[in-house]
């Protein structure tokens, strides 16, 4: 018999990690307030079907209804052996039609054969068709006093709200890793399996909160290691990727070193499945991001992977969250691809080039900086116009001139165009006459006349050129060149 069946709980006290359910139902039986319909929801392997059978024993125990079934009477024994005539288990995944539900409705009219209650356990109830749900709704609204319905599902969102509203709902939680570790240690000792701490932690960690998965992995590891578990053997069985190997892939990826990242990734792919590597990378990135924010190591392992980080950029929560998001979506693409290795390599390349993209904060800061520059330019133009400084106004208005700083006494200007020789002096005189104060005006003029063209030369800025263009109709500036004098 497998570990999962052998150590299946037979009472509420042994039900692991579901304290809310245990307390509510324990009190409900003691107060004689037993609900007619119960809905159990949660991921697979957390104890929904087991809890349904325990509730059935509580209802039909010879000494019940009771919150503590004896597990020895004929009713309890029959329920544990799955052959009780009044406890009917139905797999909704294979009985989805309205005809199947009508059979339930017909049979629910008859009294129990050998116990107090007729209990219907409908597993994966979300698989029922709409018409089947409508038929089930009728019997849930007006159940017979001797009939109880226990519905179990992994996808509660697919169940109509009309069904949910007529049931007492219990949401099963994933089993915490520390509780799984303690439970696995107890089972391993009972089965005479020797183990070390890290091997049990690895199994609990990979069970993903499912006690059934944890017991299955423990049994598999015990068989693989001949009942002598060690960290090395457990990692071999699980196909576990070293955390330091993962860090060797992540660090060049973060700095955009595509060649090294691809080489490290392909080297790891020689020993492990690409999807397993990517999944483990996702977990490592989460741990580093979590640590960079909370300064707490979320890993259950003794090694603090963060102490081995060499590049500080990898500790940026903003950047890590972007990496995590792209990696998470990319893993779905890899899993659905017919070319897994090639798709995985392309994902690594995308992640590398992500490092060169600006963050949302940098983009916002740039936009805000541009907006501030535009506002400074507008303010300067309005000031010149209101003081009838038409020449200066035209020279600024018709150029690409940017006002990067415009405060009391300071004016910083940036341009790629050539400005009139007297532009700086005229601007200084204007502000001195206006404020009776000498201003600090700097002009950053990044202009290479040998490479300029008509687009970077504003004809209105040079009076001589302007006069020539007015004299010759249709004339335009084609090119600007430096004329070398002959020696």
Contact 80, 71 (CB under 8 A): yes
Task: Clarify whether residues 130 and 215 are in a common domain.
Answer: no
Domain-ending residue, one of 186, 210, 238: 238
Give the closest residue to 4 by CA, choosing from 220, 225, 264, 261. 220
Q: Are residues 406 and 347 in the same domain?
A: no
For residues 155 and 359, which has the higher predicted lDDT (pLDDT)? 155
Calculate what percentage of the chain has a pLDDT beyond 70: 84
Evaluate whether residue 414 is within a structural domain: yes
Q: What's the confidence (pLDDT) of residue 456? A: 40
Among the candidates 186, 214, 238, a domain finishes at: 238
Helix (H) or strand (E) holding 243: helix 243-255
Side-chain-facing half-sphere of 366: CA atoms under 13 Å: 6
With respect to residue 330, please indicate whether it lies within any of the assigned structural domains.
yes
pTM, two decimal places: 0.64
Residues 6+ apart with CB under 8 A from 69: 10, 11, 54, 57, 58, 61, 63, 76
Q: Apex CA 421: angle with CA 419 and CA 422, to 5°?
A: 105
Residues 153 and 13 both lie in one domain: yes
* pLDDT for the residue 343: 93
Write down the pLDDT at residue 101: 82
Confidence of residue 39 (pLDDT cuts 50, 70, 90): very high
User: What residues form DSSP beta bridges with 121?
Assistant: 89, 150
Considering the domain boundaries, does residue 487 fall inside one?
A: no
In whole angstroms, give the CA distance from residue 157 to residue 361: 36
Band (pLDDT 50/70/90 cuts) for residue 473 is low
Q: How far apart are CA 475 and CA 449, in angstroms?
A: 20
Boundary residue ending a domain (238, 256, 291)? 238
Residue with more model confidence, 208 or 479: 208
With respect to residue 376, please indicate whether it lies within any of the assigned structural domains: yes
pLDDT at 362: 56
Residues 6+ apart with CB under 8 A from 128: 92, 96, 101, 122, 136
Q: Which residue has the higher pLDDT, 219 or 319?
A: 219
**What is the CATH number for 47?**
3.40.50.300
Same-domain status, 130 and 11: yes
Q: Are residues 39 and 155 in the same domain?
A: yes
CATH code assigned at 287: 1.20.272.10
Q: Is the pLDDT of residue 364 over 50?
A: no
The Cα–Cα gap between 332 and 278 comes to: 10
Q: pLDDT tens digit string along 320-341?
A: 888 888 899 999 999 998 889 8
**pLDDT at 224 > cutoff 60:** yes
- Domain of residue 211, CATH code: 1.10.8.60
Whether residues 13 and 140 share a domain: the answer is: yes
Residue 480 is assigned to a structural domain of this protein: no
- 169 DSSP 8-state letter: E
Indicate whether 484 belongs to any domain: no
The domain of 406 spans 363-471
Same domain? For 141 and 199 the reply is: no
Q: Mean pLDDT throughout 60-77? A: 87
- Regarding whether 133 and 23 lie in a shared domain, the answer is yes
Q: What is the DSSP string of 292-359?
A: HHHS----SSSS-GGGG---GGGG-HHHHHHHHHHHHHHHHHHHH-SSHHHHHHHHHHHHHHHTTSPP
Q: Are residues 299 and 377 in the same domain?
A: no
Asked if residue 154 belongs to a domain, the reply is yes
What gap in Å lies between CA 21 and CA 170, rounded to an integer? 6
Helices (H), 256-296: 258-269, 274-294
Examine the domain organization and report whether 44 and 145 are in the same domain: yes
Question: Domain check: are 120 and 267 in the same one?
Answer: no
Residue 79: which of 101, 103, 111, 55 has the closest Cα?
55
Facing residues of 309 across strands? none
Residue 415, H or E segment: strand 410-415
Residue 60: count other Cβ atoms within 10 Å of its Cβ.
27
Instruction: Choose between 470 and 156: higher pLDDT.
Output: 156
Looking at the fold, whether 127 and 271 belong to one and the same domain comes out as: no
Please state the domain count of the chain.
Answer: 4
Burial 457-478 (b: 16+ CB within 10 A, else e): bbeebbeebeeebeeeeeeebe
Residue 476 lies in a domain: no
């Amino acid at each position: 018999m497998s570990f999962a069946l052998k150590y299946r709980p037979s009472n509420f006290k042994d039900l692991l990690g579901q304290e809310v359910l245990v307390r509510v139902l324990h009190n409900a039986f003691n107060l004689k307030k037993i609900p007619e319909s119960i809905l159990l929801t949660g991921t697979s392997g957390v104890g929904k079907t087991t809890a349904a059978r325990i509730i059935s024993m509580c209802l039909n125990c010879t000494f019940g209804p009771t919150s503590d079934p004896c597990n020895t009477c004929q009713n309890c024994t029959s329920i544990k052996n799955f052959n009780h005539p009044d406890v009917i288990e139905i797999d909704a995944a294979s009985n989805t039609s309205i005809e199947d539900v009508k059979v339930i409705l017909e049979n629910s009219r008859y009294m129990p054969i050998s116990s107090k209650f007729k209990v219907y356990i409908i597993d994966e109830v979300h698989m029922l068709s709409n018409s089947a749900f409508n038929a089930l709704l009728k019997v849930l609204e007006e159940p017979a006093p001797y009939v109880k319905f226990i519905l179990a599902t992994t996808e509660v969102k697919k169940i109509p709200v009309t069904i949910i509203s007529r049931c007492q709902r219990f949401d099963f939680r994933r089993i915490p890793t520390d509780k799984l570790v303690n439970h696995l240690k107890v089972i391993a000792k009972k089965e005479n399996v020797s183990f070390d701490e890290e091997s049990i932690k690895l199994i609990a960690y990979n069970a993903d909160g499912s006690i059934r998965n944890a017991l299955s992995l423990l049994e598999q590891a015990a068989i693989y290691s001949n009942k002598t578990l060690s960290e090395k053997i457990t990692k071999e069985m699980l196909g576990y990727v070293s955390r330091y190997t993962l860090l060797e892939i992540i660090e060049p990826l973060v700095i955009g070193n595509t060649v090294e990242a691809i080489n490290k990734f392909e080297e790891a792919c020689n020993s492990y499945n690409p999807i397993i590597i990517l999944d483990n990378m996702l977990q490592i990135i989460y741990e580093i991001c979590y640590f960079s924010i909370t300064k707490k190591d979320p890993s259950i392992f003794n090694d603090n992977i963060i102490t081995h980080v060499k590049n500080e950029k990898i500790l940026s929560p903003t950047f890590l969250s972007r990496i995590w998001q792209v990696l998470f979506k990319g893993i779905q693409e890899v899993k659905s691809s017919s070319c897994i290795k090639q798709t995985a390599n392309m994902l690594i390349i995308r992640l590398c080039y992500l490092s060169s993209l600006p963050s949302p904060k940098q983009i916002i800061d740039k936009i805000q900086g541009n907006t501030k520059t535009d506002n400074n330019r507008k303010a300067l133009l309005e000031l010149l116009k209101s003081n009838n400084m038409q020449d200066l106004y035209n020279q600024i208005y018709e150029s690409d001139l940017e006002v990067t700083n415009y405060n009391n006494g300071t004016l910083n200007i940036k341009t790629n165009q050539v400005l009139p020789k007297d532009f700086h002096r005229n601007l200084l005189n204007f502000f001195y006459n206006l404020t009776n104060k000498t201003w600090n005006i700097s002009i950053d003029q990044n202009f290479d006349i040998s490479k300029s063209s008509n687009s970077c030369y504003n004809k209105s800025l040079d009076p001589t050129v302007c006069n020539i263009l007015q004299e010759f109709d249709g004339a335009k500036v084609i090119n600007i060149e430096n004329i070398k004098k002959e020696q």
